[in-house]
Structure 1
Amino acid sequence: MDRLLFGDNQFFGVNHMSEDKARAQMMRFRDTGAIMEVLDQAYDAGIRTFMCTTHERIREVADVVRANPARYPDFLFYPCMPYAHKYANAMTDLGLVGAISSFLPEGGKMAAMLSGGMALAQKDAGSIARLLIDAEMKMFAGLKTPVIFLQNVFTDLMLGLGFTGAFRIFHDHVREKYGAEPGYITMNLPALYKALSEEGIENPVICANINKIGFRMCGGHQAYLDVLQNGRLQAVAMSVYASGAIPAEEAISWVTALPNLKSIVFGASSRGNILSTRDLVAQHWKHP
């Protein structure tokens, strides 16, 4: 993985400190051209990896990249699935069975099984999960997706329910079907690392909030540092600036000194902020 990954929160009105800023960003990026303008700035600054949800708007971004291979020869997507709001809206409109059926291939065996009721479907939850992963990945057909992430809403739901076997299903399918490295986004790195270890998933890619002040680091700041110091994982740090609560140089200097840190994912909506983060990472990240 590259050291610096570009995220998509700013494109969809996600800001953990300011609702006003979130609304302004959502309005600014309602057009795909505005999203591509910022992605072009990041790409031209040497940031080649776009870590993104499977939001329907990302399909339009994927279409642009797919149609312009000469412009984007090294563009990488790191899909993060499932996009929770998409499924929540479908559940509201169609109910549980209807929602899942709507994302499965029409006329498939699993869709027919669901129409027979959840009792039947529960007997083959793994097959349904694999089909849903495939449905999410369709928008990235023909594009480079070397790492595929499980979104934190689903990761932490399965973690809380104790259904850690879901992580093995995801892990095996991503590797076998897509030749990609499975990754996991979580709000509780220590608990997830323990669960993955118990499932026999070694040296996992785990993306979590990692910052100097413990902002949104569920499980405790020290517990995170213990895992990073003593565990065997490939950590991806998000919220390194704690939504602006930590000065940029202080934040980058601290996080890049951590062991087992593989990458930083950040969002930005201006060329100046993109270049600033890129240059700070190059300045402070000295260890391999």
Structure 2
Amino acid sequence: MTIEQQVQLPTATKLDRVLFGDNQFFGVNHMSEERARAQAIRFQRTDAIMTVLDDAIDSGVTSFMCTTHDRIAEVVERVREEPARYEGFAFMPCMPYAHKYADAVTELGMLGALKRFLPEEGALNAMLRGSRSFATKDIEGIVTLLVDAEMAMFRGVPTPVVWLQNVVTDLLLGLGFQDAFRIFADHVRTRYGAEPGFITMNLPMLVPALERAGIENPLVCANINKIGFRMSGGIDAYREALAERPFRAVAMSVFASGAIPPQEAIEWIFSQPNLESIVFGASSRAHVAQTVALVREFAP
């Protein structure tokens, strides 16, 4: 029994109240470097990742908001191999994974990195499109090429939402390239039949920019929590945007990396207007079960 079954609407994807994240699998912890290192060591094996994902599924979580880290390709393969076990389980890729590209360029050079990440299907077309894009500064070709390259690992599994990572979202926002948001959204919808989402570290600035780009009622994921932890622009600006702007919010860092007690964090976040879902990471069955139970208690 899931928390809330995903329902396809005419213009939007209805999200589960709880999305499971992958920071803990790759040594990301915003409060403790020591804990991050310990988690990175623990999850060096794909079996360890799958154990936690299975715990999340057994607790009723069916949506995995993940990066396009190379290890995720192994997770996708496991899910493909057991369709009955993972029926209804959906991936929500967040792209691009910047460290992957940086490491590849260092190891293989620029051309080698491009060849490595080209989609297998239509590789020649993608290569030509990429070369033309770089030569003419055609942002549409570059954006669609990168999306197609990142999506290659998810063939054969459900991907109802595709997210643009904050490292790119906020760069485009700062440069004023609002057209790129529309290009990304259109490509994700038309090629993959998915809902586009945008991750940001500055929600109050991004939402008006998406409106100006003509993206209606967008999915936006940002840090939202009771103490204003990592909320650029201040908590008041976020609460104003939640109350007044037409968008669908997904909250991350809800627990402020452990600074807010779980019940207090969940009760507060679901008292905010316009909140669609939360995304959280956990490395134990008990933590997953506790979070799911609190959402069931406090989510409207």
1:264 and 2:275 equivalent?
Answer: no
Give the equivalent residue in structure 1 for 2:235: 221
- Inter-CA distance 114–148: structure 2 relative to 1 (3 Å threshold): closer
Offset of residue 273 of structure 1: 0.4
TM-score, normalised to structure 2, is: 0.90
Aligned letter for 2:149?
A
For residues 45 and 113 of structure 1, what CA distance do their matches in structure 2 show?
44
Equivalent residue for 2:148, pick from 125, 134, 142: 134
Offset of residue 99 of structure 1: 3.6
Residues 113, 121 of structure 1: 8 Å contact kept: no
1:166 and 2:197 equivalent?
Answer: no
Residues 229, 260 of structure 1: 8 Å contact kept: yes
Give the equivalent residue in structure 1 for 2:93: 79
Offset of residue 77 of structure 1: 0.5
1:22 and 2:10 equivalent?
Answer: no
Offset of residue 102 of structure 1: 4.0
1:111 and 2:127 equivalent?
Answer: yes
For residues 31 and 226 of structure 1, what CA distance do their matches in structure 2 show?
43
3-state SS in 2 of match to 1:71 = coil
3-state SS in 2 of match to 1:108 = helix
Residues 200, 220 of structure 2: 8 Å contact kept: yes
- Inter-CA distance 104–279: structure 2 relative to 1 (3 Å threshold): same
Aligned letter for 2:218?
P
User: How do 1:10-159 and structure 2 match up within 5 A?
Assistant: 10-96=24-110, 99-105=113-119, 108-112=124-128, 118=134, 120-122=135-137, 124-159=138-173
Aligned letter for 1:6?
F
Deviations 1:73-94 (A, max 9, x none): 1101100000110112233345
Aligned letter for 1:58?
I
Structure 1's consecutive aligned runs of 4 or more residues displaced over 6 angstroms after TM superposition are: none
For residues 165 and 98 of structure 1, what CA distance do their matches in structure 2 show?
29
For residues 113 and 244 of structure 1, what CA distance do their matches in structure 2 show?
45
Give the equivalent residue in structure 2 for 1:278: 292
For residues 231 and 85 of structure 1, what CA distance do their matches in structure 2 show?
33
CA RMSD of aligned residues (A): 1.7
Give the equivalent residue in structure 2 for 1:183: 197
Deviations 1:109-143 (A, max 9, x none): 4534666894x241x33123212211111111111
For residues 158 and 97 of structure 1, what CA distance do their matches in structure 2 show?
24
Aligned letter for 2:212?
E
Identity of aligned residues (%): 61
For these two proteins, the number of residue pairs brought into alignment is 284
Offset of residue 18 of structure 1: 0.4
Unaligned runs of 5+ in 1: none
- Inter-CA distance 217–110: structure 2 relative to 1 (3 Å threshold): same
Give the equivalent residue in structure 2 for 1:239: 253
For residues 14 and 4 of structure 1, what CA distance do their matches in structure 2 show?
20
3-state SS in 1 of match to 2:215 = coil
Aligned letter for 1:196?
L
Residues 101, 114 of structure 1: 8 Å contact kept: no
Unaligned runs of 5+ in 2: 1-14
3-state SS in 2 of match to 1:79 = strand
Give the equivalent residue in structure 1 for 2:7: none
3-state SS in 1 of match to 2:258 = coil
Residues 242, 273 of structure 2: 8 Å contact kept: yes
Aligned letter for 1:200?
G
Residues 139, 180 of structure 2: 8 Å contact kept: no
- Inter-CA distance 150–41: structure 2 relative to 1 (3 Å threshold): same
Give the equivalent residue in structure 1 for 2:5: none
Offset of residue 257 of structure 1: 0.7
- Inter-CA distance 260–24: structure 2 relative to 1 (3 Å threshold): same
